[in-house]
Amino acid sequence: MMKISARNVIDGAVKEVKKGATTAHVLIDVSGATLTAAITNESVDELGLKPGVKVKAVIKSSDVMIAVG
């Protein structure tokens, strides 16, 4: 079992994978809400990500920012 330092780990399932030139946007369904992760196309392939695959979204809180008008 892998251990990580991040405390924000959310279970979900891949909803859609949108590959770009080098980066893919992976849409993850989490109880009806959608999270989007930007990862390399190589990582998508290595992890075998496709719709329906169960995943864990790992969110490092220091990288989450929100701004309003």
Residue 65, in any domain of the structure: no
- Tens-digit pLDDT profile for residues 1-17: 778 887 888 999 999 99
- The pLDDT, as a whole number, for residue 67 is 64
Range of the domain at 37: 8-58
pLDDT band at residue 61 using 50, 70 and 90 as cut-offs: low
Residue 63, in any domain of the structure: no
Of 65 and 57, which is predicted with more confidence? 57
- The pLDDT, as a whole number, for residue 69 is 73
- The pLDDT, as a whole number, for residue 32 is 97
* Number of domains making up the chain: 1
- The pLDDT, as a whole number, for residue 9 is 87
Q: Looking at this protein, which amino acid is placed at residue 68?
A: V
CATH number at residue 47: 2.40.50.100
Other CB atoms within 10 Å distance of the CB of residue 25: 14
The string of DSSP letters for the chain reads: ----S--EEEEEEEEEEEE-SSEEEEEEEETTEEEEEEEEHHHHHHHT--TT-EEEEEE-GGG------
